[in-house]
Chains A and B, each alone.
Chain A
Amino acid sequence: MKLFTATVIENEEIMPATHVLTLDAGSAAYNAAPGQFLHIRCGSGGWPLLRRPMSVYRTEGRTVQLMVRDVGEGSHLLVQSKPGDELDCLGPSGCGFRLESKARNLLMVGGGYGVAPLVGLAERAIARGANVTLAVGAATDALVFPASLLPEEVEYLVATDDGSAGHHGLVTDLLPDRLPWADAVYSCGPLPMTATLARIMRERAPRTPGQVAMEERMGCSMGVCLGCVVETRKGPMRVCTDGPVFRVGDIVWREGAQGPDA
């Protein structure tokens, strides 16, 4: 992890309000793993004040790609980046996904822009000879991650809230059919989705290893401010340092344990 300046090479809008930024990150890119993130200053001047954490989407050599959705003040500025722009980055940080060595059938479950780290993870898993099924949930078909950007070998399952593509309903509706096949589960998405996934795994596949990427407002990203904690069986743990990726069974899902909307 280091402080470094990355140069924007490309900015491509792949879905409405969703951009893939390709950055030349120099040597910082080599250790970047799916599930990790870069903490980035957005805009120039003092607004917004705090850096924003952006998940590593894919890496290749010196380049790191981020998938950024325009949902707030920081991301709104980031999606306007132009080639040649320099970004002040801190990272790559956090504990990313770890491919279980004996797992051959990998079920990846993504919600909304949570699909981002799973794409790079799927690529690495395929390269290792694993079978990957990626299930993605989105509000509507325009926000379904484009299949053309996935390796051909990935089995791609889609669910949309409005039924405009794939299954009409939640991505977690697809889990019961797939869990018996899966040797391991990897997930990234909104809290309610993750909570539902955790419950279904507990009920139907309690011995299947699962890793979930958690998200929380971040202050320092260095593990010192203690702002980004989530409740786990070992007490409050920092998403920036102890996570973002946690074992699914470690997260405590008591009502209200993970914030007001969990």
Chain B
Amino acid sequence: MHVEIGVNAKRPLRLENPVLTASGTFGYGTEYAKIVDIQRLGAIVSKGITLHPRRGNRGPRIVETPAGMLNAIGLQNVGLRKVIEQKAPIWAQWDVPVIVNIAGDTADEFAYMAERLDGVPGVAALELNISCPNVWEGGRVVGDDAASSAAITAAVRQRTGLPIIVKLSPQIADICGAAKAVEDAGADAISLINTYVGMKIDTKTARPALANVTGGLSGPAIRPMAVWLVYLVSQVVSIPIIGLGGIASAEDALEFIFAGASAIQVGTMTFVEPRTGLRIVEELPAAAASRGYDSVAEMVGLAHQARRS
């Protein structure tokens, strides 16, 4: 069940299983430890960290939508220094690797954070949040085209030996171009996908349900779109893809794996059923075996093969 990310990185990341938690849905890891055995997960991806602490957006910040939810948290986080001083020492004691998600306003900021996190015990890898739609007006994202995505990746690559995962927005203009560009710029893996921009209007008040007007849509509603983009992008890059978007079960995880993902993340569904990630860890080996496969790795991208009769 194990997965390797960053085979050629100075510090390659070996995950015991392909089930990770999605950034923003698992805090800094300690909270859910009270009710589930987090050490059995493949990895935890932390809340998105910014250079300075952020208070986030005014509320209301979330609203449920059919089979999903919109969030406009606005990257509320404790800031880089507190993560290094207070969170990382806890992570260093854990078996489960912790991947730190970082969000900057500029390529320089990303690079600076990467350099500060490089070599910090407890930090196993970085996920670059170049696609969060909630901190700029109208849902724009900082890495909104191939060139800027690549520039951020290259800047980070220069300053760290940690495995680098780049999390792409599904609404980037040329997602295949961006994926190839970040691979060339030194990314070790790509997370697909971040949330989609959406809004909900409260029909009782005729006002937007979110104070931020727009939010990012996540949950089962976006799964078909996420599966498609994994299927598409896996055809143009050779680095591993980590698939996410409404995964709720081992069956859903298989969809992403067959589409071309080597690993998956569980996000929104953790709120609904906190045991979702661990259930997938438990059920995936049997799901593979019942299909005649010894490992998840053998199933990656099966959907691309010629149809079996």
Chain A residues in the interface with B (C-beta under 8 A): 1-3, 41, 46-51, 88, 90, 216-231, 235-236, 256-261
Chain B residues, Cβ within 8 Å of A216:
59-60
B211 touches A46 (CB 8 A): no
A222 touches B32 (CB 8 A): yes
Chain A residues, Cβ within 8 Å of B71:
219, 225, 227
B246-292 with Cβ < 8 A to chain A? 248, 268, 270-275
Stretch at the interface among B19-27, B107-115, B165-173, B191-199: B19-27
Chain B residues in the interface with A (C-beta under 8 A): 24-27, 31-32, 34-35, 47, 55-56, 58-64, 66-69, 71, 73, 76, 205, 207, 211, 219-220, 248, 268, 270-275
Chain A residues, Cβ within 8 Å of B207:
260
B27 touches A222 (CB 8 A): yes
Chain B residues, Cβ within 8 Å of A260:
60, 205, 207, 211
Contact of A230 among B27, B59, B67, B248 (CB under 8 A): B59
Chain B residues, Cβ within 8 Å of A1:
34-35
Q: Looking at B47, B60, B73, B270, which has the most chain A CB atoms within 10 Å of its CB?
A: B60
25 examples of A-B residue contacts, CB within 8 angstroms: A3-B275, A46-B220, A49-B67, A49-B268, A50-B271, A90-B35, A217-B62, A219-B62, A219-B69, A219-B271, A220-B270, A222-B31, A222-B32, A224-B31, A224-B32, A224-B47, A225-B25, A226-B73, A226-B76, A227-B73, A228-B62, A236-B55, A236-B76, A260-B60, A260-B211
Chain A residues, Cβ within 8 Å of B63:
217
| Given A217-B63, A224-B32, A225-B25, also A49-B69 (CB < 8 A) | yes
| Given A46-B67, A236-B56, also A229-B27 (CB < 8 A) | no
Q: How many whole Å from B126's CB to the nearest CB in chain A?
A: 20
A49 touches B27 (CB 8 A): no
B274 touches A90 (CB 8 A): yes
Contact of A226 among B34, B35, B61, B274 (CB under 8 A): B61
Chain A residues, Cβ within 8 Å of B73:
225-227
Chain A residues, Cβ within 8 Å of B56:
226, 229, 236
**11 extra A-B contacts, CB within 8 A, seeds A222-B274, A227-B73:** A50-B64, A50-B272, A217-B62, A221-B271, A222-B35, A224-B27, A224-B47, A225-B24, A227-B59, A231-B59, A257-B58
A49 touches B35 (CB 8 A): no
B47 touches A49 (CB 8 A): no
In the bound complex, CA of A48 to CA of B67 (Å): 7
Q: How many whole Å from B39's CB to the nearest CB in chain A?
A: 17
Q: How many whole Å from B205's CB to the nearest CB in chain A?
A: 7
Chain A residues, Cβ within 8 Å of B59:
216, 227-231, 236, 258-259
Chain A residues, Cβ within 8 Å of B62:
217-219, 225, 227-228
Instruction: Considering the complex, give the chain A residue whose CB is closest to the CB of B77.
Output: A226
B272 touches A223 (CB 8 A): no
B60 touches A231 (CB 8 A): no
B205 touches A225 (CB 8 A): no
In the bound complex, CA of A221 to CA of B220 (Å): 20
In the bound complex, CA of A259 to CA of B211 (Å): 7
Chain B residues, Cβ within 8 Å of A257:
58
Chain A residues, Cβ within 8 Å of B219:
49
Chain B residues, Cβ within 8 Å of A231:
58-59
A49 touches B58 (CB 8 A): no
| Given A217-B60, A229-B59, A260-B205, also A47-B67 (CB < 8 A) | yes
A49 touches B272 (CB 8 A): yes
Instruction: Considering the complex, give the chain B residue whose CB is closest to the CB of A261.
Output: B205
In the bound complex, CA of A257 to CA of B25 (Å): 25
Q: How many whole Å from B96's CB to the nearest CB in chain A?
A: 16
Contact of A51 among B60, B68, B271, B275 (CB under 8 A): B271
In the bound complex, CA of A46 to CA of B248 (Å): 10
In the bound complex, CA of A1 to CA of B207 (Å): 36
Chain B residues, Cβ within 8 Å of A2:
35
In the bound complex, CA of A72 to CA of B16 (Å): 42
Q: How many whole Å from B14's CB to the nearest CB in chain A?
A: 26
B61 touches A227 (CB 8 A): yes
Q: How many whole Å from A224's CB to the nearest CB in chain B?
A: 3
Chain B residues, Cβ within 8 Å of A224:
25-27, 31-32, 47
Chain B residues, Cβ within 8 Å of A41:
272-273
In the bound complex, CA of A41 to CA of B58 (Å): 27
Q: How many whole Å from A93's CB to the nearest CB in chain B?
A: 10
**A-B residue pairs, 4 tightest by C-beta:** A224-B27, A227-B62, A220-B271, A227-B61
Instruction: Considering the complex, give the chain A residue whose CB is closest to the CB of B204.
Output: A261
Instruction: Considering the complex, give the chain A residue whose CB is closest to the CB of B34.
Output: A1
Q: How many whole Å from B132's CB to the nearest CB in chain A?
A: 13
In the bound complex, CA of A217 to CA of B58 (Å): 13
